[in-house]
Structure formats: structure tokens, C-alpha cells
Amino acid sequence: MMRQVNLKVDMVPKGTLGRRVVRPMSPRYITIHSTENYTAGAAQHSLALKRGTLRSAKTLHGNRIGFLIWHFTVDERMAIQHMPTNEQGEHADFDGPGNRLSIGIEMCVNRGASLSSTVERTARLTAVLMKRNGIPLQNVVPHYHWPRRGKHPPNKNCPHFLMDNGRPGAKWRGFLGRVNYYYRQLDT
């Protein structure tokens, strides 16, 4: 399964940028996102995280460290890991449980790329992470699941192409079906 995921590990160095404050985590959820810039694949997102170009205002109820960071970025060809799964990222809901308890996966939607390859790769990676961390399928959630305090609307339409009218519906259930399909292959 991991061979098909084609995972590269390219961590943001510990103690810098999005990892300048290391906050331990026992992951209980996996949060699925989609990038909405339409220009960059996984390698470019990895570079951006290492260069610190993905900044976010640090405010009372906003981003806690001034940088965005998440655990994995997936595109049509590979997955890249940016930080260990036992550290908290900044990708979901500021100081809420989405950041404190979940592994964040960003799916690239760059133009010209195969969305279905990216989605299948993400489903495989999610299944492996469920297995490794003892996370049940019901705790695989879209970014939408985590309300963001102070934002309107609080629930983000993310990953947008797996939401129906901005919220989880048939497309999201279809994705969970693919995750479960791969998860069951790991059991045998």
C-alpha cells in the first residue's frame, strides 16, 4: 500500500517556521483538506512550508504560531510528509481540537493534474494512517467538520470538491468508501 502512496519524507526542520514550537499530539482524527491555489503540486507546497512563505496572522483566536503547517500534501504522483504525526499542525481550527488532535492532509488541485489519482492516493494514505494510529473511519473528517471560532461561515467548504453544496454529502461518503476499501485490504 505504501508503495502506491509513494511517500517522500521532507520535514520542515524541527525548531523552525511551522515547527518552531513543538507541541506533542496523540492523533485521534485525520482531517482532509484541499488546496485552492490551483497552481502548485506537493513538491511546491513542501518548498513553501520550508521557506516559511505560508504565513498567517497570529491573533488571539487565530493561528497560534504565525505559520501554516500540516502533515502531508498529496498530488497525482506522490505524497510528501512535512512534520511528524505526533506533533500538532496549524491547518484546521486555530486552538480547537482539529489542530490539537488531528493529522492534516492537503490534496492538491493544481490545474491539469488528475484529481482522481490524487483522491485515490489520499484514500490509501488515510487508510495507512488509520491503521498505524488506531483511528476509526468515523474520525476521518473533512476540514468542514471543525468550526473556526470567529470566522464566517465557521465551517469551511473544504475539501471543496468533495462537499455537496458546501457540506458533507454523497461525495464525502464516496471518499470514505474508498478509504474503507483500502483499510480493509490492510487487514488481510
- Site residues (vs Zn ion, CB under 5 A): 33, 143, 158
Residue 84 C-beta: closest distance to Zn ion, Å: 20
Residue 104 C-beta: closest distance to Zn ion, Å: 8
Residue 146 C-beta: closest distance to Zn ion, Å: 9
Strands 140-142 and 163-164: unpaired
- Give CA–CA dist 59/148, Å, rounded: 13
Nearer to Zn ion, 84 or 161 (CB): 161
Residue 94 C-beta: closest distance to Zn ion, Å: 13
Alpha carbon distances (Å) from 28 to 4, 133, 144 = 24, 8, 17
**Axis crossing angle, helix 115-133 with helix 170-187, rounded to the nearest 10:** 50
Nearest to 42 by CA among 102, 117, 94: 117
Nearer to Zn ion, 69 or 158 (CB): 158
Nearer to Zn ion, 56 or 131 (CB): 56
Nearer to Zn ion, 81 or 99 (CB): 99
